[in-house]
């Protein structure tokens, strides 16, 4: 099956709502084959602990679908320290990704989605802060703002809170 067909067979649930059943269509060979392939595909239980975000489940579901994986089931639970635990049941066709590489493939897709969500959140926060600072700043003071990247470790979503640091420097 083509990667686009696998993505079309998967639905992306949104937080607080159950995934809607696919529209009823007359069974044909392609639909039957795709359904049988996904039912026979190995299923993996993945647990992710990360900062809470409003669109996190949708972002992860989209990233998995783009990677040719199917999000079969998802549960969002609160975790210690104000973080969120996601329990995801994910499947991936062996024809697309060999079984021995599926866990890494799934982890990369999830990690990429978390990084994009953190970057999007940081950009929105920086834009809001810059807008607030520009509105309240007097030009005669000559202050300049500089934004630096957050200090999260590469290849890890543990430090990916999406925050940046802001410093003000006075011009001489």
CATH T-level fold of 37-132+144-170? Alpha-Beta Plaits (3.30.70)
Q: H/E element holding 104? A: helix 102-136
In tens, the pLDDT along 40-68 reads 677 899 998 988 888 888 889 999 999 99
Mean pLDDT value of segment 9-15 = 48
Q: Which of 10, 3, 31 is nearest to 97 (CA)?
A: 3
CB count in 10 Å sphere of residue 111? 18
pLDDT digits (tens, 9 = 90+) for 104-127: 999 999 999 989 988 988 999 999
> Sign of the CA dihedral 120, 125, 126, 131?
positive
Ordered by start, the domain boundaries in the chain are: 37-132+144-170
CA end-to-end distance (rounded Å), the chain: 64
Confidence bin at 133 (pLDDT 50/70/90):
confident
């Amino acid at each position: 099956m083509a990667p686009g067909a696998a993505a079309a067979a998967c639905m992306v649930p949104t937080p607080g709502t159950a995934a809607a059943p696919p529209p009823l269509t007359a069974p044909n060979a392609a639909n039957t084959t795709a359904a049988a392939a996904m039912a026979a595909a190995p299923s993996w239980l993945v647990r992710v602990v990360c900062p809470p975000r409003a669109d996190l489940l949708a972002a992860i579901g989209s990233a998995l679908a783009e990677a040719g994986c199917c999000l079969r089931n998802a549960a969002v639970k609160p975790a210690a320290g104000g973080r969120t635990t996601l329990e995801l049941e994910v499947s991936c066709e062996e024809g697309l990704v060999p079984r021995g590489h599926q866990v890494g493939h799934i982890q990369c897709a999830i990690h990429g989605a978390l990084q994009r969500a953190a970057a999007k959140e940081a950009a929105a926060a920086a834009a809001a802060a810059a807008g607030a600072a520009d509105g309240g700043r007097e030009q005669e003071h000559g202050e300049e703002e500089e934004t630096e990247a957050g200090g999260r470790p590469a290849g890890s979503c543990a430090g990916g809170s999406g925050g940046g640091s802001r410093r003000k420097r006075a011009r001489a």
